[in-house]
Amino acid sequence: MIQAYILFKVSSGAERGVCQKIADFDEVLVTGIIYGEYDLVAKVSVSSLEALEEFIAEKIRTVPNILVTSTMIIAREYKGKTNRIKE
């Protein structure tokens, strides 16, 4: 199993619509609107590097208003404390 974070720059004002479209893909575990250099982030899970390439090429690149993506494959992941402060 391969997991990755994909960062997105999107057209101004298109953040919510693009985020909702990305969230509908089966490969997407979670997505959100963020502040900073990028507008959105998605955590994805696929079966292989080939499946990741196919997901990006055939699904992500067909979503309108995505200008730039940056993909970071997760090498190792650590879980945080379960007793987080609730807002």
Q: What is the tens place of the pLDDT at every residue in 44-85?
A: 999 999 999 999 999 999 999 999 999 999 999 888 777 555
pLDDT bin (cut points 50, 70, 90) of residue 35 is very high
Domain annotation for the chain: domains and CATH numbers: 2-73 (3.30.70.920)
Give residue 74's pLDDT.
96
pLDDT value for 33: 98
Nearest to 30 by CA among 10, 61, 4: 4
Sort 12 into a burial class: Cβ within 10 Å, 0-12 / 13-18 / 19+: exposed
